[in-house]
Amino acid sequence: MRSAGILLPITSLPSKFGIGDFGSEALKFAKFLHDSGQKIWQVLPLTTIDSGCGNSPYSPTSAFAGNYLLVSPEILVDEGFLTNEELEKISAKYNFDKNPEKIDYESVREFKTEILNAAYKHCIKNNRLDSEFEDFKKNTEWLESFALFSVIKQVQGGAAWYEWPDELKHKDKNAIKRFKAEYSNEISRQEFYQYVFFSQVMKLKSKLEELNIKIVGDMPLYVTRDCADVWENPNLFDFDDDLNPVTVAGVPPDYFSETGQLWGNPTYKWDVMEAQNFKWWIARLKNLLTMFDIIRIDHFRGLVAYWAVPYGEATAKVGEWIDVPYEKFFAELKKNFPEMPFWAENLGIITPDVEEIRKNYKLPGMLVLHFAFGNPADNPYAPHNHTRDSVVYTGTHDNNTSRGWFENDATENEIKNFSSYIGRDVMDGYIFTSEVTRLAVSSVSDTAIIPMQDYLRLGAESRINIPSTPSGNWSWRMKPDAISDGLADRILAACKLYGRA
């Protein structure tokens, strides 16, 4: 089936509370998707983020825990976890109307923490921590370890786990027991944050199912070194006896970069994971599928072979490709997930073995139109070379908006080739955005995903992320009045015309 969808991070939704959340604006956008004939809402990772990593959702501090900044205060009130008076009293301290198109993460983090703490106290006072909360704790294997990790990190002044005192760094049983006893209330509060998060995200997913809309979410291949999972399971990562990395992740030099890309994430010990039947990965994917219907696997090629750089190297020039036991890994995935609800991020230089495993398991790959017009004839991203087993995008969260790309990034040759490709001169970013969107929706690719900024024809100021820049990203928000019935009708008409509605 041909289908269409829109890429819009949950954080980018409008909200009275400084950041998009799972509340009324998410439901409003879901209705807009339905009215415009869309079958997919693609979002970014929903796992925990950290200010030390620039609030990037691709540098999770847990592979499992949810980002509590996305919790809706309105739903907390509606469900009796908080009174409206309590919400208004706390909200009055913050001025989120000052810049409604940007997220101030510091203020939002303070606000959501205060709101959730008030909700937790309210529940304790009114005996609202019911059997559902207890069931959530009992059936969520990663929860206790994550909550413990979070509280130790707070007590240690935000220090990374590998800088903690040895008895906590190495999880000495007696030290951990004493800590749990002393900070039991704080640990319970962290568990409550996760209970509320997963309750809200699953209710949103249920509403989307009623509208016949699938939610697609991203899974970063790697986690950060200062991550709950790394602390809990250091044997799964390439560490020495003192828990220092031996190798870290990246990609080698190519025509984009003379020194490659040094990401610095710890690499996996695939032999250990194989001996455990890849249970950590299976658990991770099962957890993500409580939030999503389909998972886009970021850096998919790293599941076939990965570039390992010796820890301490200044660039990714020195390293080696190390094979993953991918045949056994994907066989285990197929066994646990027969429908294989995954998309493969296969952008860049991809070797034949990566494409072979993708095609064998019928995993759609990605095509990005911004990459198509340097030399379209033999370019796999150009529409005449598209294949059905793919997802076509105008751009992704790592690209400029289409208007921003035309106005700031595109070369004269790319603009000339694009004009020749569609048979008329394209003179400005507004026209380019309309035309490149039409090319995506008309493509033979089974699925077309358009970033919301392109439907709104927004410029570079609305870009989500500039790769390799440490700050200022992930903060764009859509204006409250941006979507309309007229826009939904125009999108629906295009999707009907090209068989996607």
Contact at 8 Å (CB) between 90 and 113? Answer: no
In which element (H, E) is residue 239 found? none
Residue 242 to residues 119, 217, 236, 263, Cα–Cα distance (Å): 40, 35, 14, 22
Contact at 8 Å (CB) between 306 and 321? Answer: yes
Contact at 8 Å (CB) between 265 and 225? Answer: yes
409: helix, strand or coil: helix
Query: Rounded to whole angstroms, how far apart are CA atoms 459 and 349?
Result: 28
Contact at 8 Å (CB) between 305 and 321? Answer: yes
In which element (H, E) is residue 335 found? helix 326-336
> Which amino acid is residue 109, in one-letter code?
R
Cα pseudo-dihedral 436, 347, 278, 174, rounded to 10: -90
Can 166 be counted among the known catalytic residues? no
Can 345 be counted among the known catalytic residues? yes
Can 409 be counted among the known catalytic residues? no
Q: How many residues does the chain have?
A: 501
> Which amino acid is residue 40, in one-letter code?
I
Residue 485 to residues 3, 34, 40, 489, Cα–Cα distance (Å): 20, 11, 18, 6
Helices H / strands E in the chain, number of each: 19, 12
Give the closest residue to 392 by CA, choosing from 367, 371, 370, 373.
367
Burial class (CB in 10 A: 0-12, 13-18, 19+), 415: middle
Q: Which of 186, 398, 407, 446 is catalytic?
A: 398
Q: Which two tokens stand for residue 392?
A: 């076509």
Q: Which of 191, 229, 298, 454 is catalytic?
A: 298
Q: Which of 345, 414, 435, 454 is catalytic?
A: 345
Neighbours of 99 (CB within 10 A): 12
In which element (H, E) is residue 5 found? strand 3-7
Residue 124 to residues 43, 135, 210, 216, 393, Cα–Cα distance (Å): 34, 17, 34, 35, 47
Give the closest residue to 233 by CA, choosing from 149, 291, 167, 155.
149
C-alpha count within 13 angstroms, C-beta hemisphere, residue 460: 8
Query: Rounded to whole angstroms, how far apart are CA atoms 231 and 243?
Result: 9
82 Ramachandran zone, left/alpha/beta (phi>0; psi -120 to 50): beta
Residues assigned a catalytic role: 298, 345, 398
